[in-house]
Every structure is written in C-alpha cells, then in structure tokens.
Chains A and B, each alone.
Chain A
Amino acid sequence: AQTVTQSQPEMSVQEAETVTLSCTYDTSESDYYLFWYKQPPSRQMILVIRQEAYKQQNATENRFSVNFQKAAKSFSLKISDSQLGDAAMYFCAYGGGSQGNLIFGKGTKLSVKP
C-alpha cells in the first residue's frame, strides 16, 4: 500500500525568507502524481503545486517549487520570499492506481513570523 510521510509536524519561517517542507512516499508504481495542498484556517483545501512522476523537471508555481527525487521517493516543497498569507497547514499527497483517490501525509503546520 502507498504511504506518505511528512516528518515535520510544525515549521516556522521569517517573512521574506525561504522554507522547505519535506515529504517522502512509498509506492511500487512507476506512474503517479504528487501534490502539495495548502489548508489555511478557513479550512479550504487549495492546490499549490503538482508533479507528474514521469517528468524529470521539477514543477514551479511562482514562489513555490518542488524538489522531486524519484529514486529516493522524496518530494519537498520550497516556498521562497515567504509571506504572512503562506501560514497554513501543508499536505503532501500521492495519486496513483486505478481508483483516483489521493493519499495524504499528516501535514506540516507552517507559521510565518513578521
């Protein structure tokens, strides 16, 4: 069975600095997708970034980028120029197999200090 592990329950970053959130996963599949979702206090789940496993190039979305290491099964999220609005829970998620559902890690709570 696939699993997703986020080893950092909480992280803190100074405004305008860079922070990296870690995620590792376990799967025997070769074709899958990885995601980072943001959940602010409003509890809405917001898709931050997505990576297709067959693509070697790391995905980027403005200030958000990933470091995808397929062999190591690692998928970290880097947030550059952190803003107060980045404060939220961040969930790493795996998508693979025929059923289409996501498997989530336990989340990392990110605080941003002014």
Chain B
Amino acid sequence: DTAVSQTPKYLVTQMGNDKSIKCEQNLGHDTMYWYKQDSKKFLKIMFSYNNKELIINETVPNRFSPKSPDKAHLNLHINSLELGDSAVYFCASTRIRSSYEQYFGPGTRLTVT
C-alpha cells in the first residue's frame, strides 16, 4: 500500500504546454506539500495545503497553481512550461504540522524540451 503516490513518475513535454501532476495520500494526513528539487539536488518548498486551505505559497511563478479537491489530494498544474521548470517535484504529507515529520511521494521527474 503506497502511502503517498504521485502520477506520473516521469513527464516529458515541450515548452509552452500545460501539464498537471497528481498527488494522493492514504495516511489520513491533514497537511500536504509540494517541493521542487532542481538539477543541483536542492529541495525547496513551493506550496502547502492544510485541510484544503493554502497556507504556504513561496515565491513561485503564477504559472504554477496547486489544487486540493479534498484533503487526500493535492495536484500541481503548470501552465506555459519553460525549460527552467525541468526538475523533480515531490509531494509530501504530514499528520500534524507541528511535528514536521513528512512522508514523501516518489517524485515526478519533469523534463521540458
């Protein structure tokens, strides 16, 4: 049973396209996150949702929009993809925000050509 799952695991697309990455957790957690890992392996928070409410929105281009249909799902939609968007995107979740112990999905490697 996968705790935090992401689809797809790999995504290759052309500049200018719009794409979505889906994340689901079956842990009953209230808070979910999106992190971006760049080509140098640096991980940085992008967004956080708690019970479907956006609580973190770091300095991320408006082309990135998170959507949380329910507390088990947090999807990431990216418009007008650019070469610099190529990265690995991780979804994570935590049961109690104050514990900071996060469970990560397997990551989605996005390649923009």
Query: Could you tell me which residues of chain B, from 72 to 113, have a CB within 8 Å of some CB in chain A?
Result: 88, 90, 92, 94, 97-104, 106-107, 109
In the complex, whether B15 has a CB less than 8 A from a CB of chain A is: no
Closest to A46 in B: B104
- CB of A106 within 8 A of CB of B42, answer yes
Partner of A95, one of B43, B100, B107: B100
- CB of A100 within 8 A of CB of B41, answer no
Partner of B101, one of A35, A39, A42: A35
**Count of chain A residues with a beta carbon within 8 Å of a chain B beta carbon:** 24
Closest to B107 in A: A43
Closest chain A CB from B82 CB (angstroms): 22
What number of residue pairs across chains A and B have CB atoms under 8 A from each other?
61
Closest to B108 in A: A43
CA distance A104 to B109 in the complex (A): 19
The interface centre, meaning the residue of B41, B50, B98, B100 with most chain A CB atoms within 10 A of its CB, is B100
Partner of A100, one of B42, B90, B94, B104: B94
Given A35-B101, A43-B88, A100-B100, CB of A106 within 8 Å of CB of B106:
no
CA distance A45 to B5 in the complex (A): 13
In the complex, whether A30 has a CB less than 8 A from a CB of chain B is: no
In the complex, 7 of the A-B residue pairs with CB atoms within 8 angstroms, ordered by the A residue number, are A33-B101, A37-B104, A43-B88, A45-B104, A45-B107, A99-B55, A104-B42
A99-B56, A101-B56, A104-B44 given; name 17 further pairs at CB < 8 Å.
Answer: A35-B100, A35-B101, A45-B90, A45-B92, A45-B104, A47-B101, A47-B102, A89-B41, A98-B97, A99-B97, A100-B31, A100-B48, A100-B94, A100-B98, A102-B100, A102-B102, A107-B42
